[in-house]
Each structure stands twice: as structure tokens, then as C-alpha cells.
Structure 1
Amino acid sequence: MINKIFNELEKFKIVDWGMLYLGCKGLPIGTLSPNNVSDFACEQLAIIELNDASFISVSELSFCTEINDEVIDIISKLCDLNNVDLTLSKKKWVVFSIKEFMNHLPEDSLYGPLELNNFWNEWGEPNNSQNVIQGVNNSMTPNEYYSDKNYLKIISDHNLWIKKELNELGI
């Protein structure tokens, strides 16, 4: 799934070295392939100057054939050189991952909220997530929480959140 989401992110031209760094270290949706790293590095080579401090590192990554500690270290250094905001990079991954995840939610009002809870739990429950857990900071009974009406509200709230986050990303 990570490669599908990465391709979607590339369409919007919002991929950065931080996203590669996080994707190579591994995310709940998987680990990026060496081809993703190589392709991105080749794209970057086409736009950076020959005398750019990152040129040699980017050149090395253009021949990436495996994700290992050396590759991750090079990408980490490129993040530092380019002052990449890893929080923003992670936000992009989360937004596009939940957007894709929403397309595959179960229709069942019992399993759907549970799947969403699992999603947010795997991503570390970002402070601004739309995750609502029955009985946590609310007085919803299990019958209320797992009702069809509440599930539709949860889906609607998530879709609004995605739209807001995409807007903040300039998409």
C-alpha cells in the first residue's frame, strides 16, 4: 500500500526527503521500495545545481538498490541539509494514508470504528486526529458508539478532517 500512496503523493508534487526518510525507516503501511528512492533522487538531480552540497549524496541515492542503514543515513543528512520538517512529512503520510484507508472501511458499524481506532493507534494517535474511542472523553454507551448513525458521523467527520488537512497542504 505504501507505494500506491507514495505515487499519489508524487502526483501532487509534495514529496520531500523527510517523507523518504520516514518511508525508508518504515511506516504502519510498509516500507518504501528502493525504486522509489532511486526515482526521487533522479528527479532531484535534474533540478539541483552541480555545486549544491547535496549533489553527491543525491547522486548516490539515484543508484539505490536496497534500503539499508547507509541509505537511511544519507537521506537523514539530506533532511538536515534541506531543513526538512519531519512533522510535516509525517502529516503528509498520515493524511494520504487515512484518505486511502477510508476507501476500504468495512460497512459494518461495529468493525468500522474498530478499524479506524486501529489505524490511528498504529500512527501514534496524532493530537489532531479524528479518532473517537467509546468512553474516552465522552459518555457514549457501546450501543450509541457502535450505531449506524454514529458510524456515519465518524465517517463524515473523517472526510471533513481529510479535506481540511489537504487544504492546509495546499491540495
Structure 2
Amino acid sequence: MAEYLFDNRDTTSGRNFVLTSYLEWMYRSSNFVRFLEYFSTRTGFVADETGFRFPDLTEYDAEYYFTGVRVWVGTQKVTLAEVDFVGQVREACESYCNKHQDQASLVNTLLQKIQDNCRQLELTSKFEMLSRDASKADTSMTDEVIDKLFHDDLIDWGVVLLEVAGMQGIDEGLRPTLVKDFAYHELEEIAIHDPLLEVIVDLAKNSGYSSVDLCEKIEKVCQAKNIDMDKSRRKWLLALLDGMLLDIDSDSMYGLIKIAKFWAAWGWPPGSAALMRHDKKMSSQDYHSSVNYRQVIANHREWLETEIAACR
């Protein structure tokens, strides 16, 4: 049995309805994160540290979160079976609406969204495949990304440091020769009296240094060159995004999931949400259409071209 709570919580802005529950899906898969990604993309949830919020419910002066623990919709505590989630939620919502007629419209709207999206759950082998693809380290793709960093003249010592140290989206040590490759590249242009010459020659040799030692040496170079590490991170973001778009799923739903997952991993930086074209007035069917998907990809490619030029 899974416990679901229905409770109303007053806030300074008005009624606050929070939905959190263990769906039946939870009992069929151990990877809850995959479901959240899928569900948020399907419904237009906005993610934060506490859960997922429907932005289009603000017109009702309410919020509704899904975190996988329990349901809040009214004033009564209800215990539900782990099966027939929609049916049990409907019964509880109807019971609540009978006691709170003034809030019936909001609760019914919430319930309809729950029903619509539960019906859309496609827990198929393709969804399992998506999880496997997302969980494995894609060394070849990251290697291609590094090649692109060189090709687009985005490489700098900050970029190299982030690869050696490891960061979101970058597996440490995926190209052991990266430090040598870039050090040799730098030696082609460095002046003979440059105070960094000795350090860069040392990095070009890279004689069995640990990642910690390498980081210390590269950090000294970054400090001496006044490398903007935020800009270096952005270069990685751009290169990784470009690499992902080159290998994007042809299926609009799974492609949108992959793009949304990418931006979520990078904390949804300013401007990223607008690229997803998620208008609260747009139906789920229209949002996941191939036409909208192509436009989302086109938006990203246009944005990438502008951002890459700005980062050179």
C-alpha cells in the first residue's frame, strides 16, 4: 500500500495545492528519475529542488508538485492502493469537491491533467532504451566534442582544466592526450621568453602526472592568463549541446526529453527555457509534434551559431 494525503495549505498568495505521489509506475521501475524527466516533458512541469510545478496553474493561484511521496489536494487524509491511481485520485478529488464547491474547478482541472498524462505514459522497451543510452558514458561523442572545440577555436586552458577535473556532462580523462595536444598547440605560438614556457613544455611532456597534479599546473596557467572559467564552462556547454543535436533522436517526444534533460543538468541557464518553445497555451499534442520539434531544434542551432561566435 502507498499512502496519499489530501490536504489544503493556505499561503499568502492563496490556495496551494501540491501533488506528490508514488504512481503505479514506481512499482515497475527502480529509476524514478527517468519517469520525472518523461513526465515533466509531457506535462510542461518546471523543475526545482522540491519537485515539479505546472506553470500554467498560476492562473488558479495554486501550485502542484510531483516528487513521489504523497498527494495534497484537500483536507482529508486518504490511503490508496498502489494500483488504479487515476481512479482512486478521482474518488478522493470528488469527495473533496463535494465539501469545497468553491474549489471544485481547480481540483477538477488538476484531476484532468493527471488523467491525461497518466494515459500518455508509454512505459515501453524504447523508454528503457532511452535510459540505457543516457546512463552509459558516451566516450566517442565526447571525443568528437573535443575535436569541435579545437575546430571552432573554442579551446583554452580553462576548457582543458574542466576536462581534467571533471564537471557536469564531462567524464574525467576521456581523452588522456588532451593536455598534451593543447600544450603542443600552444607551443607553436608561445614566445621564447614567455614565463609560462617551462610550465607548458612540462604539460606537453605530461610525464605520468596525476589528475590532481595536472589540475594544479593548469590552474597556474589559467591564473597567469586570466582565463574566464565561466566562459570556459559555457564553451563546454555549447560544444556538448552541438554534439547532442548531431545525435538527437528522430522521435519528437524522446528528442525533447533529451534536450530538456541537457538543460536541466546545466541548471536551465538564462534563455534556455525560451528555446524549448513551451507555451502554456500549446497543447501537449502540439508541443510534441514533429513540426514543433523541428522548430525547437532550429532554434537551438541558430542560438548555438550566435553563442559560438560570441565565445571565440
- TM-score norm. by structure 1 comes to 0.85
The question of whether the paired residues in 1 share the 8 Å contact of 2:157 and 2:222 is answered with yes
Counterpart for residue 289 of structure 2: 147
The question of whether the paired residues in 2 share the 8 Å contact of 1:34 and 1:67 is answered with no
What stretches of structure 2 of length at least 5 have no aligned partner?
Answer: 1-140
Question: Does 1:23 pair with 2:181?
Answer: no
For residue 303 of structure 2, the aligned residue among 144, 156, 161 is 161
**Superposed counterparts of 1:5-16, under 5 Å:** 5-16=145-156
Deviations 1:4-46 (A, max 9, x none): 2111221233311011011112241423423110121122223
Counterpart for residue 3 of structure 1: 143
- TM-score norm. by structure 2 comes to 0.49
Q: Which 4+ residue blocks in structure 1 deviate beyond 6 angstroms?
A: none
The question of whether the paired residues in 2 share the 8 Å contact of 1:24 and 1:67 is answered with no
Measure the CA separation in 2 of the matches of 1:57 and 1:122: 34
For residue 53 of structure 1, the aligned residue among 195, 199, 207 is 195
Question: Does 1:126 pair with 2:269?
Answer: yes
Percent sequence identity over aligned pairs: 26
Closer/same/farther in 2, CA of residues 127 and 90 from structure 1, 3 Å limit = same
Measure the CA separation in 2 of the matches of 1:11 and 1:83: 23
For residue 85 of structure 1, the aligned residue among 228, 246, 266 is 228
Q: Secondary structure at the match of 2:252?
A: coil
Residue 145 (structure 1) shift: 2.3
Q: Which has the higher strand share?
A: 2
The question of whether the paired residues in 2 share the 8 Å contact of 1:19 and 1:89 is answered with yes
What stretches of structure 1 of length at least 5 have no aligned partner?
Answer: none
The question of whether the paired residues in 2 share the 8 Å contact of 1:34 and 1:66 is answered with no
Counterpart for residue 103 of structure 1: 246
Q: Which letter maps to 1:35?
A: T
Which structure is larger by alpha-carbon Rg, 1 or 2? 2
Q: Which letter maps to 1:6?
A: I
For residue 211 of structure 2, the aligned residue among 33, 58, 68 is 68
Residue 70 (structure 1) shift: 0.9
Q: Secondary structure at the match of 1:124?
A: coil
The question of whether the paired residues in 2 share the 8 Å contact of 1:117 and 1:133 is answered with no
In the comparison of the two structures, how many residue pairs are matched?
Answer: 168
Q: CA RMSD in A?
A: 2.2
Closer/same/farther in 2, CA of residues 106 and 62 from structure 1, 3 Å limit = same
Q: Secondary structure at the match of 1:110?
A: helix
